[in-house]
Structure 1
Amino acid sequence: MTIALLISTYNWPEALERVLESVLLQTKKPDEIIIADDGSTESTKEVIDVFRLKTHIPVKHAWQEDNGFQKTKILNKALALCESEYIVQIDGDIIMSPQFIADHIRISKPHHVITGSRASLTKEFTLEFLKSKKPIDYNLLRKNSPYKMNAARIPFLTPIFATRYKTKGKHRFYSKGCNMAFWMSSLIKVNGFNEDMYEWGHEDSELVVRLLKIGEKKLFMKFSGVTYHLWHKVSSMERKSINQTILENTVASGDFRIKNGLDKYLIK
């Protein structure tokens, strides 16, 4: 199984630099890294170019002009560059624990989509962490997250919670694009992310709805695949209600394949 690490980013090179540093600390490295860049300035490209000199892992940089929050569009463009069978997705403000990729591989199964959680960091620590040039200290990350349960790695508990935690009832579509994994073949079947959803909100859950419609099952990765979320100001939620309606329509629909998606970027 070949693994791609998909990282979305927008104009926060200081954070991306630290995220990429955590890639180098992985006990199991991805086979390729694909950065989905929603219109960042040249400073983000400079961070990526410097990182390329530190690793033999192929690094692909998908970029589009800054025309507002268009995460679904740049994710699809980035996925069109993917050569791997399995995608592990994070955001450009997520510091991965050293076992993150290995934990994702361990829980992965055919015909399953995975979602995990994150341990958010405080504002004060985030600002200091980004300013510092010291190597990542995971003990400090754990200490400075108020979400201790999300920062706990207890792998033998993961299989127990995988089918029980946020996989049924009102949580059955719950997912976070900052810690998520799926099969490329399944993504092609449902035509990727729904580009009718732009600005912030629900694009990851809407994808999960469609993956479940083709027979996928969802597993929640609890007590492994630990990530730390850098503090930042809350994104605009102007379209949250509109995206919520799109999500609800997808749930009610019999269709699993959206029209405005990945296929337009794939080589014919």
Structure 2
Amino acid sequence: MTISLLISTYNWPEALELVLESVGLQTYIPDQIIIADDGSDLRTKILVDYYSHILPVEHIWQEDKGFRKTLILNKAIAACTSDYVIEVDGDIILNKHFIQDHLNAAEKGYFVQGCRAMLGEKLSQKALSSRKTYFSAFTKGMVTRFNAIRFPALSFIFKTNPYSSHNVKGCNLAFWREDYVRINGYFNGFEGWGWEDYEFAERLINSGVKKKRLKFAAIGYHIFHKLSSRANFRPNELIYEETVKNKIWHRSPGFQEVAM
């Protein structure tokens, strides 16, 4: 089984550097690391070029024409050569056991939602200035301490509805590439921020893939930032509601239209 780590980013190389630093400290290094870049400037290219000499990093870039995350993710998966994909955002610092925890949880017929701990604004600023990548539930400035606890042996205590797409976040998500391809990946009809993760998860579930949620394992530390524009929130929500109502599992345009 081979693993690709998919990291989405846009014009925040300072955060991406911490993410890549944390990848280099993993107890299990992924076979492939793909940067899905939604139009960042030259600073990100320079950073990725540097890390490509240290880690198996590839840079997939598209022109900046606004928020087009689903499109760049589909392009990145087209370049993916692994059986299993772990997707994170470019502002998620990884616990050193992150990849190993996801590997341990991988199971045919399931996709996996990992755990996200939120760094407060001051702690985030300190991490960015000091290049700090180690955190724990006891770190001063940790907002969601419970989510920062790593204790994999207790993961079984927490149950989740395997048929619910509620609260699925692409910032820490893992899936089999063949499942992704079968449902045609992310739907490129979304405009702006919002609901693309839920809708993608709903189609996985409608296709017969169940959700598994990890607690006390696969922890990602989210660097604080201002919220993205919610201007297209409701139109995107309507797409998700249609997928739920009609039990849609395949949408176009998506992965196949990009991969062709």
Flag whether TM exceeds 0.5 (same fold): yes
Q: Give the share of equivalent positions with the same residue, in percent.
A: 43
Q: Which deviations, in whole Å up to 9, do the C-alpha atoms of 1:161-208 show, x marking residues without a partner? A: 2xx23x268x54331111000110011110000111121111111011
Q: Which residue of 2 aligns with 1:102?
A: 100
**Contact 2:162 / 2:211 at 8 angstroms: preserved in 1?**
no
TM-score, normalisation: structure 2: 0.95
Matching residue within 152, 155, 162 for 2:152: 155
Q: How many angstroms does 1:139 deviate by?
A: 4.3
Q: Which deviations, in whole Å up to 9, do the C-alpha atoms of 1:68-125 show, x marking residues without a partner? A: 1110011001110000000000000000000000000111100101112311111112
**Contact 1:150 / 1:223 at 8 angstroms: preserved in 2?**
yes
Matching residue within 178, 184, 187 for 1:191: 184
Give the aligned CA root-mean-square deviation in angstroms.
1.6
Q: How many angstroms does 1:136 deviate by?
A: 2.7
**Contact 1:4 / 1:84 at 8 angstroms: preserved in 2?**
yes
Q: How many angstroms does 1:129 deviate by?
A: 1.4
1:234-253 equivalences under 5 Å are: 234-253=227-246
Gapped regions of structure 2 (runs ≥ 5):
none
Q: Which deviations, in whole Å up to 9, do the C-alpha atoms of 1:23-61 show, x marking residues without a partner? A: 001001100001100000000001101111223x2x111
Moved more, 152-161 or 28-37: 152-161
**Contact 1:142 / 1:151 at 8 angstroms: preserved in 2?**
no
Matching residue within 135, 160, 176 for 1:138: 135
Task: Give the letter for the 1:65 counterpart.
Answer: E
Q: Which residue of 2 aligns with 1:67?
A: 65
Q: Which residue of 2 aligns with 1:8?
A: 8
Q: Which residue of 2 aligns with 1:41?
A: 41
Q: Tell me: CA distance 1:140–1:110, structure 2 relative to 1, closer, same or farther (3 Å).
A: closer
**Contact 2:28 / 2:97 at 8 angstroms: preserved in 1?**
yes
**Contact 1:121 / 1:141 at 8 angstroms: preserved in 2?**
no
Structure 1 runs of 4+ with >2 Å offset: 135-144, 171-174
Gapped regions of structure 1 (runs ≥ 5):
none
Mapped partners of 2:165, 2:68: distance in 1? 25
Is 1:206 equivalent to 2:206 in the alignment?
no
Mapped partners of 2:93, 2:71: distance in 1? 24
Q: Which deviations, in whole Å up to 9, do the C-alpha atoms of 1:197-253 show, x marking residues without a partner? A: 121111111011111111111000111011100000100011111111000001112
| Paired positions, count | 260
**Contact 1:173 / 1:206 at 8 angstroms: preserved in 2?**
no
**Contact 2:203 / 2:247 at 8 angstroms: preserved in 1?**
no
TM-score, normalisation: structure 1: 0.93
**Contact 1:72 / 1:198 at 8 angstroms: preserved in 2?**
no
